[in-house]
Chains A and B, each alone.
Chain A
Amino acid sequence: MNAIAVDSLTKIFGDFVAVDHVSFDVRKGEVFGFLGSNGAGKSTTIRILCGLLAPSRGTARVAGFDVGRAPEAVKSAIGYMSQKFSLYLDLPVQENLDFFGGAYGLSGRALASRAAEVVELCGLGDLGGRITGTLSGGVRQRLALACAILHRPRVLFLDEPTACVDPQARRLFWRVIRQLAGEGTTIFVTTHYLDEAEYCRRIGLMAAGRLIALDTPAALKRTYVPGRIYLARGRELGPAAAVLRGQPGVTAVEPFGAGLHLQVDPALWDKVRLAAALAAAGGREVSIEAGEPSLEDVFLAALGQAEKAA
């Protein structure tokens, strides 16, 4: 059974359509990434799925419960970590855990043992007595996560969990996320960081309230960035790039650092031919290596196509 099933979900505020007929499914234990620029409708969608907002039209089922009809049942089954880590900064770590445990109906020995478990899982070690406000962003983030999973939610919603957190802390955080997913928790995460999206099994791309792309990162790259990516290095590549542009089988030539980012049709071009063409056009000391399309390429290409279609 799908952990999340969304069908033609629509949310209208006044005359602004924040979410426009969005449909998708998320399987149990899947890490699902939800991408899009600010105002694309990511947070509104996540709030509807958490039972915080009622949908205007369409339906969404989370952990088997209809979010419009049974928001309270949904709330018991999910964990939610909002953009601001809404912890009580004046209280110590342990008291935050105790409170959120109590809010989800845990108490006594069950709460104590589960709290110890999530502290271990989230790498909070012996920080129990520290006042939350004195902790670094990365630790607070893991504490917020710990508070959100105390009640063993079946689906975990993370709304931009890694904003304002340093790269090392982000990596640690994702380690915990992958472990949770491995144990069967479904993860629904929105993020600004495209490198993080690579950790997701599948990605949904939102623009202006609509879901414009949905697939695994690899499939998205194949679809939106066809051909092969090469990176060219050397000297005096500027004038040579102009020659390459417009040749049959060359889809894109973009400056990339000191070199060039080339997107070509593999039937017409390979490493050797590209090097020869660049050298002939005046490039010196040319070297070519195969590159990987990034999700950034996918993002831009998908947005471009959506705008053209609109």
Chain B
Amino acid sequence: MISRPERFLRRVGAMAAKEVLHIQRDPRTLYMALGMPVIMLMLLGFGLSFDIERIPLLLADGDRSAASRELARSLLGSHELAAVDGSDASAAETALRRGQAMAALVIPAGFERELLAGRDSPVQLLVDGSDGNMARQIMGKVDAIVRAASQRRAGFAASPPLGVKVYTLWNPAGRSALFMVPGVAAYLLAIAAVLLTALTIAAEWERGSMEQLFASPVGRLEIVLGKLLPYLALGMLQLLLVITLGTTVFDVPIRGSLPVIFLAGLFFLAAMLGQGLFISVIARNQLVATQAGALSSLLPSLILSGMLVPIENMPRILQALTIVVPARYLVHALRTLMLKGGGLSVVALDLCAMLAFTVAILALATLRFKRRLA
């Protein structure tokens, strides 16, 4: 006679082994779990960039003096702005309207003369305000460069008595990829984990094999564990893939503890698998499970995780909603661990939150699972 725990493990093993066979037979699952992240990471990492680069700037130099040329050089010296040919203020407006330039700097005739005379010599910056975000960034950039140039001219003595020196920590270059990659990791893990589990369990209902399993000595917990374990392993593989790509292709640093990064991933995956399980217990149908799985994983992890929009900028009600979005905690944990460094202590709160979600959703799903058994 074999012992109870051994029987338990044997049944979980049988369920898990069968799940692995299903995955092997259906390469689409593997593609979804391992191919999609690569493609999405490339698309989102390269495509979803908020960095300003080579903004077309029209220079209308009405002065054509040494001073005006020097100003132009310093503007174009960084790679953020690129010159568009132009001559005067009237051409600037046309270029902006046609979209050939996003901004125009008009240097009036007599610019150098006024400067040499020691008087104020204003230049005019025209900015296309139809993209507010971009306009703000251009204004900030040009303002900073012009201010630096005028300071250089005036010499140290004229520097203002008060000044703020800004140092940006952890991502001084302000590269989008650095904070996008941790966000994308959460997004990808969420989609794959929720969708795959929701699908595999719904398929079992649809096929009628769930009834067959219920008529066997295999218990609910054994079904759930057997179903989730292979996908947990697949999810961890996915995380490894995303992190490897992030560090190699996008040069994302890992300043914190790598084991804690994977621990956070594990907690998040458990939460997402629970969510998938919950959906499939309710939906019992692959089509509905796909829709509900995609919606409930994609939107929150994209919009409510803080990946794209900072949570602090959201309306109060959405901020409250993010509390129950596990992706929020993973994004925070990954950004902290990868960019700032540290270990368990800095992300303990995130881990606890994800664990709480996992326990709650699994309890709900099991309760619901039981009722359907009747």
| A90, B207: Cα distance in complex, Å | 11
B208 and A54 form a contact (CB under 8 A): no
Interface string of A77-108 (1 = CB under 8 A from B): 01010111011111100010011111111010
Give the number of residues in B that approach A within 8 Å (Cβ atoms).
28
21 contacts between A and B (CB under 8 A): A52-B211, A52-B215, A53-B374, A72-B219, A78-B215, A82-B215, A86-B207, A86-B210, A86-B211, A86-B212, A91-B18, A91-B22, A91-B25, A95-B21, A99-B18, A102-B13, A103-B15, A103-B217, A105-B2, A105-B10, A157-B215
Interface membership of B214, Cβ < 8 A: yes
**A88 contact set on B, CB distance < 8 A:** 18, 22, 207, 209
The verdict on A50 contacting B215 (CB below 8 Å), with A91-B21, A95-B21, A102-B17 known, is yes
Query: A182 CB to closest chain B CB, in angstroms?
Result: 24
B325 to chain A, nearest CB (A): 34
Q: Which of A87, A105, A157 has the most CB of B within 10 A?
A: A105
B320 at the interface (CB under 8 A from A): no
Q: Is the CB of A84 within 8 A of B25?
A: no
- B213 near A: Cβ within 8 Å? yes
Question: Are A102's CB and B11's CB within 8 A?
Answer: yes
Interface of A is mostly: loop
Residues of chain B contacted by A99 (CB below 8 angstroms): 14, 17-18, 21
- Which residues of A approach B to under 8 Å, CB–CB? 50-54, 72, 75-76, 78, 80, 82-84, 86-91, 95, 98-105, 107, 157
Instruction: Say if the beta carbon of B218 comes within 8 Å of chain A.
Output: yes
Tell me whether B14 and A52 are in contact (CB under 8 A): no
CB distance from A142 to the nearest CB of B (A): 16
Residues of B within 8 A of A83 (CB): 208
Which of B17, B208, B218, B373 has a CB less than 8 Å from the CB of A84?
B208
Contact A90 B25 (CB under 8 A): yes
- Interchain CA distance A51-B219 in the complex, whole Å: 12
Nearest Cβ distance between residue B229 and chain A, in whole angstroms?
Answer: 14
Contact of A52 among B2, B10, B374 (CB under 8 A): B374
Q: Which residues of A contact B15 (CB under 8 A)?
A: 102-103
**Which of A76, A83, A104 gathers the greatest number of chain B CB atoms within 10 Å?**
A104
Q: Binding site of B, secondary structure by majority: helix, strand, loop or mixed? A: helix
B18 x A95 contact (CB < 8 A): yes
Confirm or deny: B26 has a beta carbon within 8 angstroms of a beta carbon on chain A: yes
Q: Which of A54, A84, A95, A100 contacts B216 (CB 8 A)?
A: A100
User: Please, which residues of chain A bring their CB within 8 A of the CB of B17?
Assistant: 98-99, 102
Tell me, in angstroms, the Cα distance from A103 to B216 when the chains sit together: 7
Contacts of A72 in B (CB 8 A): 217, 219
* Distance, CA A78 to CA B22, complexed state (A): 27
Complex: A82 Cα to B18 Cα, angstroms: 20
B7 at the interface (CB under 8 A from A): yes
* Separation of A89 and B13 alpha carbons in the complex (Å): 20
Bound: A294/B270 CA distance, A: 60
Nearest Cβ in chain A — how far from B203, in angstroms?
Answer: 9
Docked CA distance A46–B2 (Å):
30
CA distance A226 to B23 in the complex (A): 61
Closest to B19 in A: A99
Interface centre among A72, A80, A86, A157 (most CB of B within 10 A): A86
Besides A99-B17, A102-B17, A103-B15, 18 more A-B contacts (Cβ < 8 Å) are: A50-B215, A52-B214, A52-B215, A53-B374, A75-B216, A80-B212, A80-B215, A86-B209, A86-B210, A86-B211, A87-B209, A88-B18, A90-B26, A98-B17, A101-B14, A103-B11, A103-B217, A105-B2
Give bound CA distance, A87 to B208, whole Å. Answer: 8
Alpha-carbon gap, A88 to B219, bound state (A): 19
- B209, B210, B216 pick with most chain A CB within 10 angstroms: B216
Distance in angstroms from A106 CB to nearest chain B CB is 8
Report Cα–Cα, A169/B292, bound state, in Å. 42
Q: How far is the CB of B69 from chain A (nearest CB, A)?
A: 72
Given the known A-B contacts A91-B18, A91-B21, A95-B21, are A104 and B208 also in contact in the complex, defined by CB atoms under 8 Å? no
Please name the residue on chain B nearest to A96 by beta carbon.
B18
B residues 173-218 with Cβ under 8 Å of A? Answer: 207-218
